Amino acid sequence: MQSKTRGIRLAYSSVLRSNPRTARSHLLSLQAAASFFIAILICTPGFAQQTGSTASGISPKDASLDEVVVTGTRRATASPADSPAPVQIIGAAQLTAQPSEDINDVLRNTVPSLNVNDNPLSGTSTSIRPASLRGLSPDQTLILVNGKRRHRAADIATFSGGISDGSQGPDLASIPVTALKQVQVLRDGASAQYGSDAIAGVINFILDNSTDGGHIGVKAGGTYAGDGANYEVQAAYGVAIAGSGFFRFTAEYGAADATTRSVELGAMQDLLASGNTHVPSPPRWGTPKVWDNLKTFVNMEVPAGDNSAIYGFGGYSQRKTASDFFYRGPNARGGVFTTSDDGGDYLIGNMNPNGGTNCGAPVPVNAPNAAALLAAATSNPNCFAFVNVLPGGYVPLFGSSLTDISGTLGLRGKADSGMTYDVSFGTGRDSINFNVMTSPNPSLGSASPLNFGDLGTRIQLENVANLDLAYPLNVPWFASPLNLAGGLEWHREEFQILPGQLDSYQAGILSTQGFTPFEEAYPGYSPQEAGDWQRHNVAVYVDLDADVTEDLRLAAATRYEKFNDMGSQVTYKLSGIYHLTHALGFRATYATGFHAPSPGQEHFTAITSEVNALGNLIDTGVIPPTSPVAHLVGAPALRPETADSLSVGMVVQTDPLNVTVDAYQIKMKHRLTQSASYTLTAAQRAQLIAQGDLADASIGDFRFFTNDFASTTRGVDVVASIPLKMISRGSTTVNVLASYVATDVTSYNPNDPNNLLSPTRVIQLEENLPKWKGNISLDHVEGRWRGTVRGNYYGAFTELHLNSGGLRIDAGARGTLDLEGGFRATDKLEFSAGVQNVLNRYPTVNPWGFIAGSKYPTTSPYGVNGGIFYGAVKYNF
């Protein structure tokens, strides 16, 4: 198996560009950096000059964003209850009253239909965790910052539990929570307004624009189990400049220790019982070690006349992560220690094959005198076995270094005619460099290092330019002007792979003797796999919105988008809200949408270690769907995913009560997923050899991305806020968030041999996320004191552990309880403390933990760490 999978790393020289444009990468990195620092030196936007303010002409100085909806509309809306589409507003107080400063965890606790997992031992998905909104893939949700499209991360998830596999979304963790004024979450299809990706909805991160000084603070915490110690230092400062302009800078810096939620591995225990004293510590199944975690953002604006402003915002972030991989046992790791993953014979390599050395007969792993035979065979210095170097096996430590930089500059204003305009250009660059410790390149034998500092780098680069116009057209028979909006967008994205160090992908002297010919845990990228792939697209849109009567608001939008490699897409959206009374309204939306597969998804190559149905650890590869091998098993070229969505809802808005209930259905076609695993038949290999394609003929197990299935997702979201008069002093509010979501794969026929989707993937797509999720919180403020009690509920879910259909975990529902309290000692000094998961609730215990060591399901919707406590101090100035 190991020697065959070497072909995966070599097979694509005919379809992948072999010379990475390193100089171009550095140039575009400087371009992104230049935009960021120009933004610092010049100017920036108000809170969200973005979509809402551009269309309405509302300036940051004219209105507060506390309840103004600017997401999913180009006409500022007074509150979520007045919006034709469901929008949830999460304020700064909710965002910061959390144990974690990772925005993924914050949103998991505050958005009912959003799920994100800890993903322990999940490779790159442990470093960049994908988030799912309304049960769909992470890159089917559009991410905005100040109303502008956020660039993707350089990672493509391949081992994140099912739904996220194959997705390439932004790295949300690079956005500092402290920099945010609020987050607006549109749970509605919006491709007609924003373009590709906005199928499940839109998350708009709105940066703080306050000018009233700043603060410094420290937050620290850990887990009940005594691990995961973490800290973060925060600083922010805002000041008014040039009259009505402002400048605000935010920085966060922190680190976190790894957590361990593991059980004893049967293979390790057997070795210890046999007297093997070299067995390493078992894999740490938990959240990764994180350090050098720096996140900064700047948000600025200066006036450029009476009715215009130049704006800019941007950020820089970096972090390093490290997490364990699976244990490799000395008696059963094909291509390293033995001839197969089931054992067989010990691999004994001849380091001098042309020098007349004879290393003797094969040594069976299960031979009674195996140790003596192995010692005799390797007594010759030219005869080598890795069991002598790593006699107890090994647990690789996988690391990543992530860097993200972005910048946006723009001009917005209002002409004398009443037309508003917004012209902007943004750029972003996200890169991941990989490394691994305690893992060999077996084919190098005694010359192999055990630590590899550079396995290669993935880079995502994006540029986007926008022109947005809006004009309030007076229509005599309408109750409000018709907000007529339109605009243009140009978007370019580029995906690069840079090769790693030579010995991370090199085929050494033992590669022809059954030893794996590359670094074993996470093979380095070779020059043949490296490349640079680009795409650009242009779009034009029209958006109409008006109060037809005092009680009826209608909106419509359409968008034409043309890609240089995927043709064109036309989408549209119709929405409206009717207020039956002042307090009661009904709304509905119908929208079409699409997601265009990224250049990264089209050209991605990777090898991961997984567990097959027999419980054996094997190497399996992800290959481009454009490769000759993928074509042999019927892989078509990728095409855009498409969607039709319908939502209906009810809003109740009275002085003491605000409630929204929205039901939705999303029908998707041509959904992108990883195919089932394939192995070429003897006839297929012979066909490739006859064609002279020897490298492709040696491929082992492989998968590829494909548009292979259709699905229907149905759900209901409830958001409610209820003020209570529990006591005469202070104020108390009850907030209710609840979500039900269910996905059905509608095109899969288990009896159809042409299905590329596997039964395992169907179960993951339909059952891996809990159908029910929500929380009820009680917030009380009184004088200098504040407190929050929040109860959370997560429904049952099913995990196919390690992506294996034979390792099913049916995890039960769980409820958790969170507490937080705060005290203002002075007007400037504040203390706070809290506990998440006070009762220390864990997921259902993993019955297959003895195979790889994970005590709990790795895709638990509320993590695997149990109770978490934290404390913070903040000084305002």
Query: Of the ranges 70-84, 388-402, 680-694, which one carries the lowest mean pLDDT score?
Result: 680-694
What pLDDT score does 647 carry? 96
Residues 6 or more apart whose CB falls under 8 angstroms from that of 270 comprise: none
From the list 446, 443, 640, the residue with the least C-alpha distance to 561 is 640
Per the listing, tokens 């890795």 go with: 386
> Two tokens at 530?
């490296």
Strands 552-563 and 531-547: antiparallel
pLDDT level of residue 617 (50, 70, 90 thresholds)? very low
* Whole-number pLDDT of residue 7: 39
Per-residue pLDDT at 56: 35
* pLDDT bracket for residue 711 (50, 70, 90): very high
Q: Cβ distance 61 to 46 under 8 Å?
A: yes
Distance CA 480, CA 485 (A): 15
The strand pair at 131-133 and 114-116 is best described as antiparallel
Q: Which amino acid is at 349?
A: G
Higher pLDDT, 756 or 711: 711
The lowest-confidence range among 222-236, 330-344, 408-422 is 330-344
Cα gap 121→531, rounded to integer Å: 27
CA distance linking residue 594 with residue 199, whole number of Å:
6
Distance separating alpha carbons of residues 664 and 819, to the nearest angstrom: 32
Q: Judge contact between 794 and 857, C-beta under 8 A.
A: no
- List the structure tokens of 850: 């003895």
Tokens of 265: 């591995």
How many residues are present in the chain?
877
Q: Nearest 5°: phi and psi at 196?
A: -55, 150
Cα(604)–Cα(625) distance, integer angstroms: 9
* pLDDT of amino acid 322: 96
**47: pLDDT confidence band, cut at 50, 70 and 90?**
very low
Helix (H, G, I), strand (E, B) or coil at 555: strand
Give yes or no for residue 19 having a pLDDT over 60.
no
pTM: 0.89
Q: What is the average pLDDT score of the chain?
A: 87
| Mean pLDDT across 772-800 | 94
Q: Is the pLDDT assigned to residue 860 strictly greater than 90?
A: yes
For residue range 75-103, list pLDDT tens digits in order: 877 788 888 999 999 999 888 888 888 89
Give the per-residue pLDDT at 29: 45
The pLDDT, as a whole number, for residue 541 is 98
**For strand 201-207 and strand 289-303, is the pairing parallel, antiparallel, or unpaired?**
unpaired
- Taking CA atoms, 360 is separated from 335, 383, 545, 860, in Å, by 19, 9, 82, 50
High-pLDDT (> 70) share of the chain, %: 89
Quickly list DSSP for 695-723: HHHT--SEEEEEEEEEEEEEEEEEEEEEE
Indicate the SS3 state at residue 94.
helix
Which pair of structure tokens corresponds to residue 572?
A: 């549209």
655 and 736 in contact (C-beta within 8 Å)? no
Three-state secondary structure call for residue 655 = coil
Distance of CA 580 to the CA centre of its chain: 41
pLDDT at 295: 98
Task: Report pLDDT digits (tens) over 540-581.
Answer: 999 999 999 999 999 999 999 999 999 999 999 999 999 999
Place of tokens 């797509």: 765
CB-based contacts of 834: which residues, under 8 Å, 6+ apart? 97, 99, 788, 818, 819, 820, 821, 869, 870, 871
Q: Is 391 exposed, middle or buried (0-12, 13-18, 19+ CB in 10 A)?
A: middle
Partners of 562 in the beta sheet? 538, 568
Residue 130 token pair: 């994908």
CA distance 853 to 54: 53
Residue 785 neighbours by CB distance under 10 Å: 12
By percentage, how much of the chain surpasses pLDDT 90?
A: 67
DSSP labels, 164-220: TTT-----GGGS-GGGEEEEEEE-S--HHHH-TTTTSEEEEEEEP---SEEEEEEEE
Q: What is the pLDDT of residue 6?
A: 36
- Higher pLDDT: 197 or 529? It is 197
DSSP 3-state assignment of 545? strand
pLDDT at 28 over 50: no
pLDDT at 277 over 70: yes
Q: In the Cβ-directed half-sphere of 595, how many Cα atoms lie within 13 Å?
A: 29
Give the angle subtended at the CA of 797 by the CAs of 793 and 803, to the nearest 5°. Answer: 140
Q: Give the confidence band of 698 by pLDDT, cuts at 50, 70, 90.
A: low
Amino acid letter, residue 813: A
Contacts (Cβ under 8 Å, ≥6 apart) of 16: 528, 529, 530, 531, 603, 605, 624
Which residues, 6 or more positions from 423, have their beta carbon under 8 angstroms from its beta carbon? Answer: 410, 411, 412, 466, 467, 468
Contact criterion met (CB below 8 Å) for 449 and 388: no
- Identify whether the C-beta of residue 595 lies closer than 8 Å to the C-beta of residue 569: no
pLDDT at 425 > cutoff 50? yes
Chain-centre distance for alpha carbon 53: 29
What pLDDT band is residue 749 in, cutting at 50, 70 and 90? Answer: confident
Q: Is the pLDDT assigned to residue 611 strictly greater than 60?
A: no
* Residue 603: predicted pLDDT: 85
Q: Give the pLDDT confidence score for residue 707 in this predicted structure.
A: 86
Is the pLDDT higher at 835 or at 614? Answer: 835
Give residue 616's pLDDT band: very low, low, confident or very high (50, 70, 90).
low
Residue 66 banded pLDDT, cuts 50, 70, 90: low
Three-state SS at 95: helix
Tell whether the torsion through CA atoms of 60, 218, 831 and 735 is positive or negative.
positive
Distance (Å, whole) CA 324 – CA 259:
11
Among the ranges given (398-412, 636-650, 671-685, 689-703), the one the predictor scored with the smallest mean pLDDT: 689-703
Residues 6 or more apart in contact with residue 235 via CB below 8 angstroms: 214, 215, 216, 217, 250, 251, 252
Question: Which range has the worst mean pLDDT, 28-37, 401-410, 661-670?
Answer: 28-37
pLDDT greater than 80 at residue 59: no
Question: Of 872, 812, 870, which is closest to residue 838 (Cα–Cα)?
Answer: 870
CB of 680 closer than 8 Å to CB of 699 = yes
What is the structure's pLDDT at 21?
43
Query: In which residue are the tokens 């998991």 written?
Result: 108
**Per-position DSSP letters for 272-329, written without gaps between them:** HHTT-TT--PPP--SSPEEEEEEEEEEEEEEE-STTEEEEEEEEEEEEEEEEE---B-
Domain 2-347+385-876: top CATH class: mainly beta
Task: With a cut of 60, say whether residue 724 has pLDDT above it.
Answer: yes
Strands 201-207 and 141-145: parallel
Q: What is the DSSP string of 114-134?
A: EEE---TT-THHHHS--EEET
The DSSP string of 24-67 is: HHHHHHHHHHHHHHHHHHS----TTIIIIIHHH---TTT--SSS
Look at residue 225 in the predicted model and tell me its pLDDT.
97
